Amino acid sequence: MSIENIKKKLFSQSKESGWLEKAIWSQENEDWLDLSFSIAVKILSALRENKKADNSLPKNQKELAEVMVCTPQYINKLLRGQENLQIETICKIQRILNIKLIEVPSNTIAKTIQFQPSEIWIGNLRSTSPAITSVGIFSKKAFEETYAMGA
């Protein structure tokens, strides 16, 4: 068969793969898919470490399913790294394996506080306080504490 005939056969007989559509979908969902994959890698790593240690459980997918009280099929699906995981599930695995899988960065609030010169009356004395200008980044906790004290 000539190369031209091979090409004709290929063009006419090949089925549509749908690969591009799937690839575009996974590209559009890459943020959570990547996170799911990273979580799966970390869980697999913890199971591998437990396997090396004598007394640690769970050591494999089956044991993890037992402790999680779910089916091995679900664990298998989850560990492939393409599952849209619930936060509850992630927290449960964190507790069981005693590992950190996700963490939300602590909040910081950028705040500009300007204290205008104010007149202060003490008895019959009248004075003007100096202008105080403070620009800083406060942690949410510190910010709340500051304003709670002022309130």
CB of 116 to another protein, least distance (A): 54
Question: Cβ(112)–Cβ(135) under 8 Å?
Answer: yes
Rounded Cα distance, 74 and 91, in Å: 16
Residues 38-77 that bind another protein (CB under 8 A): 38, 40-42, 44-45, 48, 61, 73, 76-77
Rounded Cα distance, 109 and 97, in Å: 34
Question: Cβ(111)–Cβ(136) under 8 Å?
Answer: yes
User: Please, which residue, 68 or 143, has the CB nearer to another protein?
Assistant: 68
Residues making contact with another protein (CB under 8 A): 1, 3, 6-7, 9-11, 13-17, 19-20, 22-24, 26-27, 30, 37-38, 40-42, 44-45, 48, 61, 73, 76-77, 79-82
